[in-house]
Amino acid sequence: MLAANLLVKKREGEQLSDDEIRFLIDGFCDGSVTDYQMSAFAMAVCLKGMSPGETECLTRAMLESGGRMPRTCSGDTPRVDKHSTGGLGDKVSVILAPLLAACGVHVPMISGRGLGLTGGTLDKLESIPGFRTDLNESECDGALRDVGAFIVSASDQIAPADRRLYALRDVTGTVESISLITASILSKKLAANLDALVMDVKVGSAAFMPSLNQASALAESICRVGSACGLPTSVLISDMDQPLGSAVGNAIEINESLAILRGECRDQPTVERARELTMLLCSELLVATKASFDYKQARDRLEDALQGGHALERLMAMIAQQHGRLDGPLPLAKKHVIEATHDGWVRRIDSRTIGLTVVEMGGGRRRVGDPIDHSVGVAMQVLVGDRVVRGQPLMEVYCSSPGQQDEVNRLSATIELGEQPAEPIPLILNAGS
């Protein structure tokens, strides 16, 4: 087989055989298929799609490019994880992992970096001084045994094909593909030897899936492939027409996660959405693994873990286990407050522009290897449907770049006010398994 011939075949919309898909992935790993050829393959898949059978084979091939995590330290303890398809302000993993650990299940989380305009959990955690996301197998075992959770990057041993392809997709405009997203997510999750997975599929202007139909198709793909590969998978479809929570950025999202775990934000509607989504996802996993009999018992256990401070203790222990040092809120760049210029109702939030502007401010990457300024970000003060008055803060911008006034002006235009009331956007748009 020749890689170039397979690229032409997929470009023309033809199906690739299992052997052909494995040839490309194996060649990508051993260097006989180059980065530019794999980028061309990703573009062809984006444009022409893949059949369910092709997607399952791609997932298995990417999984088998590396090994699986052993279950040595877990024994009969349920192993669970959650994954989000990405969005603005999605700091759920930082809250969910220690919260579930405090409820007696293990969370071996293999996470990713920023992709397109969406933030990456690893980038957020690396805003904590000293925090390491490259733990070896022994260190991961120790973290599960001592803490019950870790959040690490996909190593050379865990789905290495995905790690390399993920970086290429970020900078070649090939993110929004149901098959590539499915294979990327599940190759890592299958490698973790999980008992249950819950997916948070985002839909909206700042999501990879802008319509509910597309989000539903991705949810179906993930559930189908996960089940075929022996991993029980459930899905929530959640809103991404506005940021999740208040904070959008890296250090600022860690600060908000800490505030949620301390119980400090129950009176802030923007932050409450992030807390509520976390609770729903955690409940799915506790019920799926029979760690709780039903959703009410799951919710009660989670509330106890939060209110008793046990989840916060687990987060601080996880940070220490991964060599991080966190003594208080992380420092942020200079603050600029955007206020309402007139009375009205919040009719629309241009979340896509918010995400792109945060990247331009240094909070994300334009190219592989770009450094990140963890101190930049925004804090949303309103939601769609809110009534506001002239002079009321709409958004706080944390920016240290020379062109900060241009970026503040751009962000000022992302919140559209109208004279007539607007309907709030529901947090959960659909659910399925």
Quickly count: other Cβ atoms within 10 Å of residue 269's Cβ.
15
Reply yes or no on whether 310 is catalytic.
no
Instruction: Sort strands 196-203 and 233-239 into parallel, antiparallel or unpaired.
Output: parallel
Among residues 108, 34, 57, the alpha carbon closest in space to that of 78 is found at: 108
Per DSSP, the residues of 347-412 read: EEE-HHHHHHHHIIIIIS-SSTT----TT-EEEE---TT-EE-TT-EEEEEE--STTHHHHHHHHH
User: Which one is catalytic: 74, 155, 174, 184?
Assistant: 184
Reply yes or no on whether 76 is catalytic.
no
Reply yes or no on whether 81 is catalytic.
yes
Reported as half-sphere exposure (CB side, CA atoms, 13 A), residue 33 has a value of: 26
Reply yes or no on whether 296 is catalytic.
no
Q: Look up residue 203 and give its two tokens.
A: 């839909």
Reply yes or no on whether 121 is catalytic.
yes
Reply yes or no on whether 224 is catalytic.
no
Instruction: Spell out where 102-169 has E strands.
Output: 107-111, 149-153
User: Which one is catalytic: 10, 71, 113, 188?
Assistant: 188
**How many angstroms separate the Cα of 315 from the Cα of each of 126, 307, 322, 336, 359?**
14, 14, 11, 30, 27
Q: Is the dihedral of CA 237, 242, 247, 253 positive or negative?
A: positive
User: Which one is catalytic: 164, 189, 301, 352?
Assistant: 189
Reply yes or no on whether 83 is catalytic.
yes
User: Which one is catalytic: 55, 59, 121, 174?
Assistant: 121
Q: 6-38: b or e for each residue (b if 16 or more CB lie within 10 Å)?
A: bbebbeeeeebeeebbbbbbebbbeeebeeebb
Quickly count: other Cβ atoms within 10 Å of residue 76's Cβ.
6
Q: Is the CB of residue 398 less than 8 Å from the CB of residue 271?
A: no
User: Which one is catalytic: 10, 65, 79, 81?
Assistant: 81
Distance of CA 224 to the CA centre of its chain: 20
User: Which one is catalytic: 55, 84, 155, 278?
Assistant: 84
Q: Is the CB of residue 70 less than 8 Å from the CB of residue 137?
A: yes
Where in the sequence numbering do the catalytic residues fall? 81-84, 121, 169, 184, 188-189
